[in-house]
Amino acid sequence: MIVMKFGGTSVGSAGAIESVRRIVAGRLRSDPVVVVSAVGGITNLLLDAAQKAKARSRDGIRLLERIAAVHGTILRELSLPGGMVAKEHELLREVLHGVYCLGELTPRTLDYVASFGERISAKIVSAHFSNRGIPSRPYTGWEAGVVTTGEHCNASPLPTTYARIRSRLSRRKKLAVVTGFIGKDEHGEITTLGRGGSDFSAAIIGRGLNAREVQIWTDVTGIMTADPRVVPQAATLPRLSFSEAAELAYFGAKVLHPRTIEPAVEKDIPVRILNTFEPDAGGSLVVRRAAPPKHGIRAIACKKNNILFNLRSTRMLDAHGYLARIFEVFTHHRVPVDLIATSEVSVSATVDAGVAPALKEIIADLGRICTARMIGGRAIVCVVGEGIGGTPNIAGRIFTIIGKGGINVEMISQASSALNISFLVKNADADKAVRLLHRAYLER
């Protein structure tokens, strides 16, 4: 069997959902399980509505009208009953009203609100399939067996998930259309796997069912040498390794959720990335091993909006335990550190601004250990390729190109696994840095 996941744009309109039906219809012999995202843009609208309701603004409820209108148009154009998702819209209205009255929004409530995007799209897609000759049934993530940690907005699957998925989905009689992104914790509370998490859901279900392949159907033709919105010349990578894809995803290649590769690695399941709007255009295959890229470099990713911490202390000289104390602060605030560089007396570390809400507290805690300075608006540019470690002078060339482009590099990091070279620049310089390196390495 295979898992076929369709992202927000792929289920973003009646026409797109019909394309999805055609693609699935042509692959029924592979015994697919379908995973869907929310209709494109709906998750943002839901989260926005919740924040507005919390701020006691009536706009929260108004956004709900917009959400209902988007779903209403799709239902009408697919000739499905208009009232089909009325219950979900009503539940949303109730919870937003509660948030508005209390002026309070917990991560748990946020996940509950966000879950409706996928719950509604799975119902619509499944109904369209059934209507057009593919008997189908929608499943929420929890009905499909996804049990997670209780970490709202960033939950992880619990080990019991895989056996549950097997028992819930193995004997399916109709085509299963499962919601991506969402599950429930052990107490029955709805959780989400982090933004873009439907890719991760697909891989989790693939692992549970021991799928032959996990397919990620999206709005671009595979994983490309760079984000095509930044580099129009970017080309599709026909084949890359699990490690390369994981690095690219972690450092900003939005085409895959960073954790998608984990369950695939466990069971050695190939992950294929395909374009819903050009189904015959090939795509990318992510597998355990791929031949090293020509010039050592496979692709370039970029993640904007990071915060750079510059930490100095002369007490670090010949002292032990200093780094441990610094990282204890980040651990205490549950903030992952992305890049680090150290010298005798200074440590630089970056964190993603989006996951570090408690900045004031972090800097105050660090200030008790050392002199701590924080600079925002920084981008990580990440050059990825299995060949980087074994190719002489790659770093030299990269920084010559960046330097000639007049871009100041503020921090450099190359781990000993040598799969990537990452460096930090100002947000405003990031796209130019990616384009310069792409032209030098990947356009010949």
Whichever of 182 and 226 has its CB closer to ligand ADP, that residue is 226
Between CA 217 and CA 413 the distance in angstroms is: 33
The entry of Mg ion, ligand ASP, ligand ADP, none that residue 299 binds, CB within 5 to 8 Å by partner kind: ligand ADP
Tokens of 75: 């239902």
The entry of ligand ASP, Mg ion, ligand ADP, none that residue 121 binds, CB within 5 to 8 Å by partner kind: none
Residues 41/47, Cβ–Cβ less than 8 Å = no
DSSP 8-state class, residue 10: T
Whichever of 137 and 195 has its CB closer to ligand ASP, that residue is 195
Question: Binder to ligand ASP among 180, 183, 283, 296 (CB under 6 A)?
Answer: 180
DSSP 8-state class, residue 355: G
The entry of ligand ASP, ligand ADP, Mg ion, none that residue 113 binds, CB within 5 to 8 Å by partner kind: none
Which residues inside 177-206 make contact with Mg ion, applying CB under 5 A?
A: 196
Tokens 């295979």 appear where?
A: 2
Question: Binder to ligand ASP among 9, 43, 225, 420 (CB under 6 A)?
Answer: 43
Instruction: Print the binding letters for residues 188-217 with ligand ASP: x by CB under 6 A, - otherwise.
Output: -------xxxx-------------------
Tokens 């470690």 appear where?
A: 389
Residues 152/110, Cβ–Cβ less than 8 Å = yes
Phi, psi at 392, each rounded to 5° = -60, 145
Which residues inside 96-125 make contact with ligand ASP, applying CB under 6 A?
A: 117
DSSP 8-state class, residue 266: H
Question: Binder to ligand ADP among 2, 4, 8, 339 (CB under 6 A)?
Answer: 8
- Which residues are CB-contacts of 439 (< 8 A; sequence separation ≥ 6)? 233
Cβ of residue 154: shortest distance to ligand ASP, in angstroms?
12
Residues 340/349, Cβ–Cβ less than 8 Å = yes
Cβ of residue 180: shortest distance to Mg ion, in angstroms?
9
Contacts with Mg ion by CB under 5 A: the residue count is: 2
Whichever of 12 and 296 has its CB closer to ligand ADP, that residue is 12
Which residues inside 209-238 make contact with ligand ADP, applying CB under 6 A?
A: 218-220, 223-224, 226-229
Helix, strand, coil percent content, the chain, rounded in steps of 5: 40, 20, 35
Contacts with ligand ADP by CB under 6 A: the residue count is: 19
Instruction: Print the binding letters for residues 365-404 with ligand ADP: x by CB under 6 A, - otherwise.
Output: ----------------------------------------
Whichever of 44 and 236 has its CB closer to ligand ASP, that residue is 44
Between CA 164 and CA 150 the distance in angstroms is: 18
Cβ of residue 119: shortest distance to ligand ADP, in angstroms?
17
DSSP 8-state class, residue 224: B
Number of Cβ within a 10 Å radius of residue 405: 14
Residues 290/282, Cβ–Cβ less than 8 Å = no
Cβ of residue 220: shortest distance to ligand ADP, in angstroms?
4
Whichever of 56 and 229 has its CB closer to ligand ADP, that residue is 229
Between CA 351 and CA 328 the distance in angstroms is: 14
Between CA 361 and CA 376 the distance in angstroms is: 16
Cβ of residue 37: shortest distance to ligand ASP, in angstroms?
3
